[in-house]
Amino acid sequence: MKPSSVARIDDHYRDLGGRFAVTEDPSFATLVVPNGNHSRPFHRWFRQKESFSADLVSAVLGRWRDGAGGDVFLDPFAGSGTALLAASDSQLGSKPLFAASYGVEANPFLHFVGATKIAARAHGAPGLAGLARDVVRDVRLNRVDPAPIPGLSSFANSGYFPPSDLRRLLQLRAAIDESGVEGTTRSVAHLCLSACLEPVSALRRDGRALRYEPAKVRAHPVEEFERRIEIAVDDLAIRAGVGASDLILGDGRRIDEVIPRSKSISVAVFSPPYLNNIDYTEVYKLEAWFLGFYRDHRAFRQQRLQTLRSHPSVRFPEVYGLSANGHKREFDSLIEPLLRTIPNNRYKVWREPLFRGYFDDMLETLAGIRKRLEPGGLVVYVVGNSLHGTSKRPLLVASDLLIAGLSELVGFDVVEIVIGRRPTRRSGGTLLRESVVALKPQAS
């Protein structure tokens, strides 16, 4: 017999699913993952493994907007800028599809990656090849003192970074800094160098953690840097008209405060952090510490607290916005059946506020976008449902349905939920999936 709370959540998901147009389209399977980005100019400069494909934006516009763009494009969880770059690169005839594209990203390193790609795409990076040549020469001749070792303990672990390789990486860093080259060119050199860290180390990004793999075939620091610079130089030779775009370091839950007041959003496409315990601050910590984005451990912890409440790396303040104030009754009737299903064990004390916080954050995000959406605008989110609990007591969070339900509270109609991909592992049932959900503003 299933416990009654589990039976109730199954019914709840069935009722919710029955209210929406839920379809399945395998052509989205390769679009909700970073398929193709590794060989695309600019996108290939840094691999954010949680990205979606650069082709997603045109597929979304094709399916729900007859291919049309608009004035303003937005991605409030922009990561390394995939959607922003794709939107600002898209053209209709000789005109950009969007007059302006805005992105918001909270992680300082990922923001740096996206902003650097966008600036380089728009304005180039003059002198990059020459800078790299000088830097590599000086490092090979041992003419440069290494930059100080970053304060993160992973850099002091000689199993993760053999000292001679770490020294080379830090010499490259110092040589770039001392070159006197500023602006986008210097940023592209820093980006290429930061992209060498994982390949040079014995660590591998694996889900929510960096895994130590002593037998990993590691890249050579200087050669890897040269290889990445060459790719960047090749990509920078491609010239094309691009729309204006701006990636802002900030909080995607507060769109109203971050994008200019005069702008109304035509199309928003985004993938928020999933409720799957991935802490982006942790996953991209090597690069962020190496480039000096955190002064100390206090700043590092502070960064975790800025992120969406999707992971238990920190105890987030139990502060709730619209879910407690304004939409409490409807929010509770949507989310309480899930909260009641959380097993009563030692994890419940952090799981319950985390789940509540996640959906409160999503409600704030949707409300912020809705407030600034133009009539006839389109909002599309990509989200994966997640499986928590144990094999005996699985706890499935159907974020695609629950967020769709929340969107109705703040003035959206759910146009369609397209199931794009189902993970290969069997447990979790049919609801374990990644979906692409389209919303339009309710007619007023």
Ligand X SMILES: C[S@@+](CC[C@H](N)C(=O)[O-])C[C@H]1O[C@@H](n2cnc3c(N)ncnc32)[C@H](O)[C@@H]1O
Site membership for ligand X, residue 273 (CB under 6 A): yes
Q: Out of 46, 77, 102, 155, which residue is the one contacting ligand X (CB under 6 A)?
A: 77
Residue nearest ligand X, Cβ-based: 79
- Judged by CB under 6 A, which stretch of 46-54, 57-65, 215-223, 414-422 contacts ligand X? 46-54
Q: Which is nearer to ligand X, 253 or 370 (CB)?
A: 253
Distance CA 294, CA 286 (A): 11
**To 10 degrees, the CA torsion angle through 370, 419, 14, 425?**
-130
Evaluate whether 429 touches 396 at the Cβ level (below 8 Å). yes
Closest approach of ligand X to the CB of residue 274, in Å? 7
- Judged by CB under 6 A, which stretch of 156-164, 248-256, 393-401, 411-419 contacts ligand X? 248-256
Site membership for ligand X, residue 80 (CB under 6 A): yes
- Judged by CB under 6 A, which stretch of 89-97, 99-107, 341-349, 429-437 contacts ligand X? 99-107
- Judged by CB under 6 A, which stretch of 73-81, 167-175, 344-352, 434-442 contacts ligand X? 73-81
H helices of 20-107, where?
Answer: 56-65, 82-89
**To 10 degrees, the CA torsion angle through 334, 337, 343, 345?**
60
- Judged by CB under 6 A, which stretch of 13-21, 75-83, 182-190, 347-355 contacts ligand X? 75-83
Site membership for ligand X, residue 307 (CB under 6 A): yes
Q: Which is nearer to ligand X, 51 or 171 (CB)?
A: 51
Which of positions 372-431 make contact with ligand X (CB under 6 A)? none
Q: Which is nearer to ligand X, 134 or 282 (CB)?
A: 282
Largest Cα–Cα distance of the chain, in whole Å? 72
Q: Which is nearer to ligand X, 53 or 407 (CB)?
A: 53
Evaluate whether 131 touches 274 at the Cβ level (below 8 Å). no
Strand partners, 389: 394
Which of positions 173-202 make contact with ligand X (CB under 6 A)? none
The answer for 273, left when phi > 0, alpha when psi is -120 to 50, beta otherwise, is: beta
Which of positions 275-304 make contact with ligand X (CB under 6 A)? 280
H helices of 145-295, where?
Answer: 163-178, 183-194, 197-200, 221-236, 255-258, 280-283, 285-290
Q: Out of 70, 79, 368, 377, which residue is the one contacting ligand X (CB under 6 A)?
A: 79
**CA-based end-to-end distance of the chain:** 46
Q: Out of 252, 353, 368, 377, which residue is the one contacting ligand X (CB under 6 A)?
A: 252
User: Residue 232: CA atoms inside 13 Å, Cβ hemisphere, count?
Assistant: 35
* Number of other CB atoms surrounding residue 203 within 10 Å: 22
Closest approach of ligand X to the CB of residue 106, in Å? 4
Which residues neighbour 7 within 8 Å (Cβ) at sequence distance 6 or greater? none
Site membership for ligand X, residue 110 (CB under 6 A): yes
Site membership for ligand X, residue 107 (CB under 6 A): yes
Evaluate whether 331 touches 323 at the Cβ level (below 8 Å). yes
Q: Which is nearer to ligand X, 79 or 420 (CB)?
A: 79
Site membership for ligand X, residue 84 (CB under 6 A): no
Binding site for ligand X (CB under 6 A): 48, 50-52, 77, 79-80, 82-83, 104-107, 110, 251-253, 271, 273, 280, 307-308
